[in-house]
Amino acid sequence: MQRGPQPADFADVRATNLAVVLRYVRGHAPCSRAEIAAATGLNKATVSSLVADLIERRLLRETGLTEHRIGRPATMLVLDGSPYAAIGIEVNADYLTAVAIDLAGQQVLSWRRSFAGLASSPAQAATAIAALGRRAVNRVLKEDRRVLGLTVGVPGLVSPDGVVIMAPNLGWRDVNLRDIVNRALGEPGFPVAVDNDANLAVLAESRYGAFAGSQNLIYLTGEVGIGAGIISDGRPLRGHRGFPGEIGHITIDPQGPPCACGRRGCLEAIAGITAIIARVLPEVAGDGDITDLQPEVDEVVRRARSNDPAALHALEEVGRALGQGVSILANLLDPEVVVLGGYFVPLAPWLLPPVEAELRARRIGPEEGGAQVVASILDHGAAATGGAATVLDHVDAGRLPRL
């Protein structure tokens, strides 16, 4: 029996080289074949063959000539990918988001739908998620695009095989969401995956956010729960079982309010969006379960803008608690930037100053060059966008579609 490293066959080498060329064009378009050859070390004949293959697959297209060079004008290349799309779905306690992106990164669709996740059984919730996925797939197919994959982001612990182990803010345990969505889609010919929402959102930030390309970046979901998606040294931090970033369940105050996880004084029980609403708008407590948080968040913003003392005091205290969590992440992981997402974005003018003050007081390293804390420029669909981006990452890694 032959052991040890085995030589790659021609198909493997070619697939790798196709991915190399595609990634180069993604990062440097418009560019010429000669530029690709010079940057990648591939010879010009090989690059020409690879480019022809990628054009045939509708992954690249030619876009005219450039005169700004010595010698003959060069035909320039850009990403195409218009016949394909990747779909991401984000699950939250009060809404669902669906996003589809083509291989050039252009958004094909973006939907937000109300969702009674707080009041639905796991079976009802999974059915609603699967139905939205089916509608998104049908819309993409009607536009004569091929779906390359669908990824669902969930606020909870998700196993590698797509089982939601626990999602406290949805009341889920051991929900095999990937199988449910697969069956609802009729066992499609594209991969369906499920992942933690923060893990997906940080991928969207690293591709499309204000700090795109940062090698050390953390994204905090600002929903009912608070999760951290982490890029460390250019790679997503996945942990031993795929459960990293549960910053929302660190204890800020042992005598604090109860958390959905069963403990007391967790960060999200103090600084999650429902906790903020309860502090600023105590009058809504008797209205029953809130199934759409946006009107309440808008009212919190209105009161803060009108300098309501109770609202400003509550946001100051929440910001300090959030700053404690951020300082722990900063001291452990030394990020370049911590991005606040979700409902934290409209509240950022009042949350950021106490967060930054707490970070300055608690950080161990020197302030110069330390982590910045900013509000996301992406909308509420960051995890959905990241879900679609994971499919694009697979293409960039060499899993290329063929028409």
Q: Is the pLDDT of residue 102 over 70?
A: yes
Reading the block at residue 151, the tokens are: 């990824």
Q: Tell me the pLDDT tens digit for each residue of 112-151.
A: 998 887 778 888 888 899 999 999 999 999 999 999 999 9
Q: Identify the pLDDT of residue 104.
A: 86
- Cβ–Cβ under 8 Å, residues 113 and 384: no
Report the distance separating Cα 376 and Cα 211, nearest Å. 9
Single pTM value for the model: 0.89
Q: For the chain, how far is it from start to end, CA to CA, in angstroms?
A: 38
Chain centre distance of CA 177: 18
Q: Tell me the pLDDT tens digit for each residue of 349-371.
A: 999 999 999 999 998 877 776 78
Report the distance separating Cα 347 and Cα 365, nearest Å. 28
Q: Tell me the pLDDT tens digit for each residue of 184-200.
A: 888 888 999 999 999 99
- The label of the residue with tokens 């956010």 reads 209
